[in-house]
Structures are given as C-alpha cells and as structure tokens.
Structure 1
C-alpha cells in the first residue's frame, strides 16, 4: 500500500462515517498515503470491518470504532473508543452526515430538523472541541460539506443545506482559532456522487446522464474523486490553505 513517497507516514487519521461511500474512500486513500486510520462507523460494524481488512490487505494499518454521533454524548463516545487504540491524532475528517428526508419545507418536523443538525453540525463541533488536547500541532481538520451551500440550492433538503452551512461557518472560524497552532481547517463541497445516498437517482440511465451533465467533465463523481481532494488537504502540500471551502463538484457550479 505504501510507497517510497508516502506523505502521511507516522500520522494517525480519524475519519467519521468511514464504513462506506466517500468516508470509505477517504479512509483507504489516507491509509495508502501512510496514515494509520481510525475507521468510525455509526451502524454498520461489518462495513467498517471490511474497510479495516481492505487497508490491512494492502499493507496499511487501521482500526474500527463505534460511536452514535447523533446522540448527546456522541463526541465523548467517539474519543473514548479512540483512546482504546491511540492517544494522539494528526488528521480529523468530519465526514459522517445524514441527508435527512427529502420533503417540502412545510412538512419538515422539529424531530427531523434536530436529527439532521445533531449529526451534521453538532457532532463535528464537539468532536473537534473534545479532541483538541489530542490533536497535534500542525494537524489537519477537513469537513465534508456540500455544493448546496454554494449555489446549488434544493428547497426539499433545506435542513440538510442549513446544517452544512453551519459546518462551513465552523470551518472558517475554527481555522482562525487554531491557526496559531499550525492546524489547518478546510471544507470540501461535493456535488452528487456515486454513493448510497444517490443510489436511487443513479439506478437509471436517465438519472445517471442527468447528473453527469451537471459537470463540464461529463461524468458522475466517484467517491475516490472526493477522497483525493481530502488527501491533498491532509498533506503538507496544503499547508498554506486554511479556512476554505473547496469546490469538489467537477465544475457543476460554473
């Protein structure tokens, strides 16, 4: 898995929601770059175990950990589980999230709204807050946002878009707060990507063509496309980039 030019040798990375989709691709890529990866999962132990095994089969190092990030003690549970395997962390990728329910603004319930914000906004906030003592100076924080906060609007996913806008605000403010420690904080905003979240739309040729047509590159994004951007931000090559929202839509917002 690791080559002579592995950029993250000696680093430890935590990736939330890493059992599938974009999170899985990020975990695999960071491990390929030499990092030891904590593969967090919320509900699918088998999927997380598969990621750990895939990393090990390629010569990398990883471990799985469980935490209910949508719960009130999610961050505490995450770091308690993490401490069973490692004490410090160099890279935190806040990837776990929920789309919620696609529904009209008039139909959004308080419970549904709060559930989306709990996982998409509250969890990253307290994961970082509770992890500050464990995060090494010069570390990296990458938040997985969405194109819905920058020009691609969907009124049927309003709670989701608002929660990710909160994550974007968190990114910029945290970058200023942690800058003196040499820690960079950035957000990545994917568009529609070939994951379970978009499986229904991608199940038909018409749906795939419609999504591919959004990008001038003429194809549907794969999880690895997003993972490679995250890996760049996690590396020393991105040491002078902080507080930014990176367009990861393949030009769909042009």
Structure 2
C-alpha cells in the first residue's frame, strides 16, 4: 500500500493541475477503463450503443483508442469531453497493482465497478485541491484539508473497501464545504450577484452579461449564448456547457471550472481562460 500523504495548500500560485498531476488522466498508465467500464447510448455524443463492461470497438490491444485523433468527426464527441481526473491510472496501477482485466478476467467486473467510484472521488479531490488554493477560503482551510486527506485515503483502499464507499453521502458533505468556499471567494465581488443555481438556461441569450460572482452551480447552459460575458469569480461547478458559446467571454478567476466543461463548449481565440486550463483544439 503506498504511503499516505498530506497535501500542501496555500499560495495564490498553486493550482489543482500543477500541484496534483495525479488528478490528470494518464491514459498510458490505464487499461482503457473509460472505454470499457462505462456505458453509452447512440446519440449526438456517441455513434453507437455500448453496455457497461463491453469494450468499445475502437479500443485497441494496447488499450489506446484507434480513432483518438478523429473522435469528433467519427461521431464520438462525447469521448472528447470526458475526464477521469486520474482515476483510471489509480485503479489500474494502485487498486489492482498493474494487472489488467485481459490478463486477469476474473477481476474485470470488480475493476469496472470500482472505476466509476474512483472517478467521483478524484473529481472531489480536484475541487478540494482548487478550494485550498483560494486565499479567501483560509477560514475553512483546515476543514478542506481534512476532507481532502480523508478522501485521498479512501482512494488508496482495496477494491472491496472502495465498493462500500457511500459516494452520495461523501459528496453531500464535501459539497457543503465547497459551497462555503464559493461564498467566501465571491463575497468581495462588488454589486448584486446573480443566483442561477441549477437554473434552466438552455439556449439563453446572455451575450455580454455581467455574471461576475454569479452562482451558476449545476446550471443548464446548453447552447446558451455567453459571448463576451464576464464570468470572473463565478461559481461554475457542475454547470452544463454543452455547445455553450463562450466566444470572447472572460473566464479568468472562475471557481471550479474544469477542462471537460471547456471541451464541451464553443469558444474562440478571444475567450479568456484561467492559466491552468487549455484552449480546446476544436475552438
């Protein structure tokens, strides 16, 4: 069992991507788990149906995707917006000790069942790590740090232990901390801050909107027009950005924005991004 670690926190220069490379997908160290363990249905996101536990027909013998460089044009844009946050290599190399499901088919089902649990735990680790980089959240840094270390400890347990994790309860507890983090971080934003938490904003016309410090947690922004909108310090955790127009929008300083959310959206060269995220190739 790897040695448990305590994670550093403070510093405005810290970032969940630079300081926690284990929260970034390393497909070369994974046994193609996202291409096998998870189901998908024929839709605008996937060209075919696939059951959980069934390998995608594009998965090669070396666990790499045979159409990785042309996923969108091949009818699999859904694959381009998925991120395991490093869960794939954790399950492959730590939970199952580097033994893949093809070599040990008797462990395949257990590996496939554990992967979605690990993915959710790693997503929580990613948010907690970001929360600990925010100076405004210092009043609750000790609580955030404890939650992060406890969650990381869970990810290093056995497959049997992981299968028993009550992820829903854990998410509720950590979400309460993240909400407090958000409130602290947005408190200094001047003016009246919009509350669109969980709102249906599908196709909304928000071009040029002042959304500084807004609460957009879990908002449905599918195909919304956010061109030239100011989203600085907005809480974007769980917001659905599929086909959202972010052309010219200012996303610097946003809270809990992830690469998959950006990958699902539309933007351009004038979209301002946080330094820890990458401009999608299809923009």
Larger radius of gyration: 2
Greater relative contact order (Cα < 8 A, sep 6+): 1
Above 0.5 in TM-score? no
Structure with higher strand content: 1
Q: Which has the higher helix share?
A: 1
